[in-house]
Amino acid sequence: MTRVNHPIPAAATEAWSLRRARKDDFGAIARVQTDGWRDSFRGVMPDNVLDGPLLEDHRTLWRRMLSSRGGFGDDGHPWLAVDATGRVIGFSAYGPVRGSSWSHDAEIYALYVETAWHGHGLGRALVRQTAKSLLEQHRTSLLLWALEDNLKARAFYEHIGGKLIDREAHNFGGVWLPEVAYEWPNMAQLGE
């Protein structure tokens, strides 16, 4: 398996912006998610899952989600981070809480930023924009699930104020893996 790293162009190290996803962004979102899985979950998920037809599976998922009214997120499509050339380098997908016994009224389903862009504020900006969109819908509390062994992501969620509240196993491509839940009972704090 060859990893593809996309270096940050020297002139664009801080040149990025956020925008809503469009239907034709499905391939770019799938690429960011697939690269994120392969970079972050190696050694956590079985290699046969990561080295399988993951990109094709993610492309199918995102094509379907972006073509349906609402997709991920009550008010439309995911938020994207794009570089100065318009290339998708991160995204946040969210909406109502899925199948949880917790009483939160919103959930971030997926948050990915290309590895080369970690540390440039994209993750925090995506979470803030997501929280802003959800607050505009009169939602107040947020839930997010992360793989238990994804320590880098967990450190980020804790750094931005997430409180660890639960642990469950979830199915990823036929493999059950432990995940942990983080909450922000007052989502408005994410915008501060």
* DSSP state at residue 103: -
Pick from 5-14, 69-78, 181-190: least confident: 5-14
pLDDT range class, residue 76, cuts 50, 70, 90: low
Is the CB of residue 44 less than 8 Å from the CB of residue 150?
Answer: yes
pLDDT of 100: 67
pLDDT range class, residue 143, cuts 50, 70, 90: very high
- Return the axis-axis angle of helices 26-40 and 54-67, rounded to nearest 10°: 140
Architecture per CATH, 16-191: 3-Layer(aba) Sandwich (3.40)
Residue ranges of the domains in the chain? 16-191
Is the CB of residue 128 less than 8 Å from the CB of residue 94?
Answer: no
Strand ranges (E), the chain: 16-20, 79-83, 88-95, 107-113, 142-147, 163-172, 175-184
Q: Is 131 helix (H, G, I), strand (E, B) or coil?
A: helix
pTM of the full structure: 0.87
Average pLDDT, whole number, for the chain?
87
Residue 6 has pLDDT above 50, yes or no: no
Is the CB of residue 29 less than 8 Å from the CB of residue 91?
Answer: yes
